[in-house]
Amino acid sequence: MIKVKGGVTAPKGFLASGVKAGIKVSGKKDLALIYSEVPAVAAGALTTNRCKAAPVKVSLTHLNAKTHQSIIVNSGNANCANGKTGQRDAHAMTSGVAKLLKIDERMVLVASTGIIGQALPVEKIEKALPALVHELAKDKGTDFADAIMTTDTKRKELAVKIKLGASEVTIGGSCKGVGMLYPEMKTAMHATMLAFITTDASISKKMLEESCDEAVWGSFNMVSVDGDMSTNDTCFIMANGLAGNKKITGKDANYKKFTEAFKYLAGELAKMLAADGEGATKLVEILVKGARTVEEARAMARKISISNLLKCAIFGSDPNWGRIVASAGASGVDFDIDKTDVYLGPVKALSNGSIDASFTKDKARRYFKDKNVYITVDLKSGRSFARAWTCDFSKEYVTINSEYST
């Protein structure tokens, strides 16, 4: 597997664009489009929040179609809590794109991100659609990545290439999200985190859904910035088959290789999200290992990742490992504290449930000053593990979120 340039347009047959529709007060790009030159199969993982935004509801319905060809995204407005008007506006986005691309509306997926409870300026979007379609190009993946951002400080995109038999398969992706970030997305087989993945792999819809579920479970669903689940969290993947590999129809060696690459790409994008958390100064990776099951490791890692007290301590370079132990104990996982070890990077803080004899605050404090902080909890009860990613809580986070809707 090698990294390549191009983001969502790196795979064969995918074009993208990003334009200014006037949704954002800043005047920056706020409307984006992905288009596959041939019909593709698609899968999606969407928020489990009961207060789902209109584009999520529309996309859940459209995902039932056999093939898809386009994804339209707006930033600057979540189109959430707008009732029937919101759903009408989301349909206006998909139908408008479909008409211009001369495809069925159900082949278009839609996503939105921004402030909740404000009417979507759909007339501005409709006015910008011709330019959005006209601008579609192979070299516009970066424009797409720019146009989906809200309070992100940098674009987030990546692409990788693998060999499946004699064929080269590419997977590309772009995502956004630095606040209201604690996804718990569920694959739909039948400031917000948005992720868009494209691939030229030939794979059945069912296997793409399975692969999406595996990739999202250990990547985007393991990120937290502030512990708040969005109404708009969305991850879409489209596969158009132009790589020409033998079609993946079961969980064979090619499926496993493809899914491992998908997991890697999703994991790297997830880390980008956490590192760019609103006001973040440090990326934090939490590894829980030695668990009896993956589910238990995951539950504990996620619980630790949303500890506001720990996140504040990390911002202040205060090696208060007791906050890690407290969160582990509150995770609902049944474990033996008297067998548990905790590491702050290379510094062992807890050994079999007691403070390690070699632990010193000065050594741990120096480590906590790093930009990348690694925390390990070893339960020594099994072979399962899980990773979660978060960031510190800074004063800037409070400033950003006390003025977000003004």
Whole-number Å distance between alpha carbons of 166 and 267: 26
- What is the chain's mean pLDDT, rounded? 92
**Of 71 and 182, more confident:** 71
Q: What CA–CA distance (Å, rounded) separates 330 from 308?
A: 14
Supply angle C-alpha 340, 342, 347, rounded to 5.
145
Distance CA 230, CA 313 (A): 25
How far apart are the two ends of the chain, measured CA to CA in Å?
Answer: 45
pLDDT for 397 beyond 50: yes
Structure confidence at residue 22 (pLDDT): 97
The predicted structure's pLDDT at residue 178: 60
Structure tokens at 250: 């079961």
The predicted pLDDT at position 141 comes to 97
Q: Is the pLDDT of residue 404 over 60?
A: no
Q: What percent of the chain lies above the pLDDT cut of 70?
A: 92
Class of domain 283-401: alpha beta
Nearest to 231 by CA among 118, 95, 152: 118
Three-point CA angle 400, 405, 406, nearest 5°: 90
More reliable by pLDDT, 183 or 7: 7
Say how many C-beta atoms besides its own lie within 10 A of residue 256's C-beta: 13
Mean pLDDT value across residues 311-328: 93
Q: What is the mean pLDDT of residues 327-340?
A: 96
CATH 3.10.20.340 in the chain is located at: 283-401
225 and 273 Cβ atoms separated by less than 8 Å? yes
State residue 376 phi and psi, 5-degree precision: -125, 130
Of residues 405 and 92, which shows the higher confidence score? 92
3-state secondary structure of 381: coil
- Please classify residue 395 by burial: count the beta carbons closer than 10 Å to its beta carbon, then call 0-12 exposed, 13-18 middle and 19+ buried: exposed
pLDDT-above-90 percentage for the chain? 79
Whether residue 43 is predicted with pLDDT greater than 80 in this model: the reply is: yes
pLDDT for the residue 400: 64
3-state secondary structure labels for all residues of 208-271: HHHHHHHHHHCCHHHECCCCCCCCCCEEEEEECCCCCCCCECCCCHHHHHHHHHHHHHHHHHHH
The one catalytic residue in 47, 187, 192, 340 is 192
Q: What is the pLDDT of residue 302?
A: 93
Which H, E and C letters describe 268-314, residue by residue?
HHHHHHHHCCCCCCCEEEEEEEEECCHHHHHHHHHHHHCCHHHHHHH
How far is it, in rounded angstroms, from Cα 298 to Cα 384? 9
pLDDT in tens, 288-305: 999 999 999 999 999 999
Pinpoint the residues of the chain covered by CATH 3.60.70.12.
2-275
Burial class (CB in 10 A: 0-12, 13-18, 19+), 169: buried
- CA–CA dist 234, 34 (Å, integer): 15
**Which pLDDT band holds residue 181 (cuts at 50, 70, 90)?**
very low
Least confident of 126-130, 226-230, 376-380: 226-230
What phi and psi values does residue 245 have, to the nearest 5 degrees? -70, 160
**Would you state the structure tokens that stand for residue 180, as one six-digit string?**
């209201």
pLDDT, mean of residues 111-139: 96
- Among 20, 91, 32, 81, CA closest to 53: 81
Distance CA 93, CA 58 (A): 10
CA-to-CA distance for 286 and 305, rounded, in angstroms?
7
Whether the pLDDT of residue 249 is over 90: the answer is: yes
Count how many Cα atoms sit within 13 Å of the Cα of residue 202 in the half-sphere of its side chain: 11
Which residues lie closer than 8 Å to 168 by C-beta, 6 or more apart?
A: 161, 162, 243
Q: What is the mean pLDDT of residues 354-367?
A: 92
pLDDT of 192 reads: 61
In whole angstroms, give the CA distance from residue 198 to residue 34: 9
User: Quick one: average pLDDT of 156-182?
Assistant: 87
Q: Specify the length of the chain in residues.
A: 406
Six token digits for residue 254:
């090619």
Give domain 2-275's CATH number out of 2.40.50.100, 3.60.70.12, 3.40.640.10, 3.40.50.720.
Answer: 3.60.70.12
Q: What pLDDT, on the 0 to 100 scale, is given for residue 186?
A: 53
Taking the model in full, what pTM does it have? Answer: 0.87
Cβ atoms of residues 170 and 33 within 8 Å = no
Residue 330 has pLDDT above 90, yes or no: yes
Confidence of residue 98 (pLDDT cuts 50, 70, 90): very high
192 catalytic? Reply is: yes
Residue 188 has pLDDT above 50, yes or no: no
Amino acid at 378: D
For 402, residues 6+ apart whose C-beta sits below 8 A from its C-beta are none
Average pLDDT for residues 193-201, to the nearest whole number?
Answer: 95
Instruction: Dig out the tokens for 22 from the structure.
Output: 């006037």
pLDDT 10s digits, 199-208: 999 999 999 9
pLDDT score for 274: 84
